[in-house]
Amino acid sequence: MTADPIRILAVDDHPLVRRGIATLVGGELDMSLVAEASNGREAIQQFRTHRPDVTLMDIQMPEMNGVDAMIAIRGEFPEARFIVLTTYTGDVQILRALKAGARAYLLKNFFHKELLETIRAVHAGKKALSAEASYQLAEHVTDDALTPAEIRVLRLIAEGNANKEIAAQLSVSEETVKGQVRNILSKLGANDRAHAAMIGLKRGIIES
């Protein structure tokens, strides 16, 4: 037993997930769950109050998502250590989380030994990715990234807008939109607009 257990903050909008984390951590002598939060705003408040050693952070939550919460917390506490615990495996989502300060990225189905080992590793200053997250990053590492303008068009496509409607909303010509749609389909390897929207959602380029 260590004299100073690893102090953990669990952030997830699902009470059952937080309960599972509490049960798992509760069985470890070298860990202590010091606080919980159900969204990003609560996470910031709880972090300020408890200054945990490691924070388990979900991505998709109401009010404020996990990425924005990590950026805000690291703005105040640059040494904060995060493990993203999520159901989302999109490579763009993973990169966004890593750039925001996540030291590890795990899927929620790894709720036992791997999570405990990752908590200890991150507390020791190491980084870790689940096998699935590593695969997703490797799969798309050489892809051409969409430009911000193309991401805006893809988001409007996913919302069901036709080219003419997209052009009107973005104050550009319909020909410009058609060119951007061609680029999007090519870069994503998509068969059509609906397929492109599906890929964009799956990879985390856009959010539902």
Give the pLDDT score at 1: 47
pLDDT in tens, 62-87: 899 999 999 999 999 999 999 999 88
**Cβ of 124: how many Cβ atoms within 10 Å?**
9
DSSP for residue 146: P
Sign (positive/negative) of CA torsion 142, 143, 144, 147?
Answer: negative
pLDDT value of residue 111? 62
Q: Are the C-beta atoms of residues 92 and 204 closer than 8 Å to each other? A: yes
Q: Which domains does the chain have, with CATH numbers?
A: 6-140 (3.40.50.2300), 148-203 (1.10.10.10)
- Residue 187 C-alpha from the chain's centroid: 22
* Degrees, nearest 5: CA angle 194-196-202: 105
- Non-local (6+) Cβ contacts of 62 within 8 A are 13, 39
pLDDT value at position 114? 86
Tokens 């939060």 identify what position?
Answer: 37
Tens digit of each residue's pLDDT, the chain (208 residues): 446 899 999 999 999 999 999 999 998 999 999 999 999 999 999 999 999 999 999 998 989 999 999 999 999 999 999 999 988 778 888 898 999 999 999 988 766 778 999 999 999 999 988 888 888 888 887 778 899 999 999 999 999 999 999 999 999 999 999 999 999 999 999 999 999 999 999 888 988 7
- Confirm if 57 and 70 have CB atoms less than 8 A apart: yes
Q: What is the C-alpha separation between 53 and 167, in angstroms, rounded?
A: 48
Tokens standing for residue 4: 């100073």
| Contact assessment for residue 42 and residue 87, using Cβ atoms and an 8 Å cutoff | no
Global model pTM greater than 0.95 = no
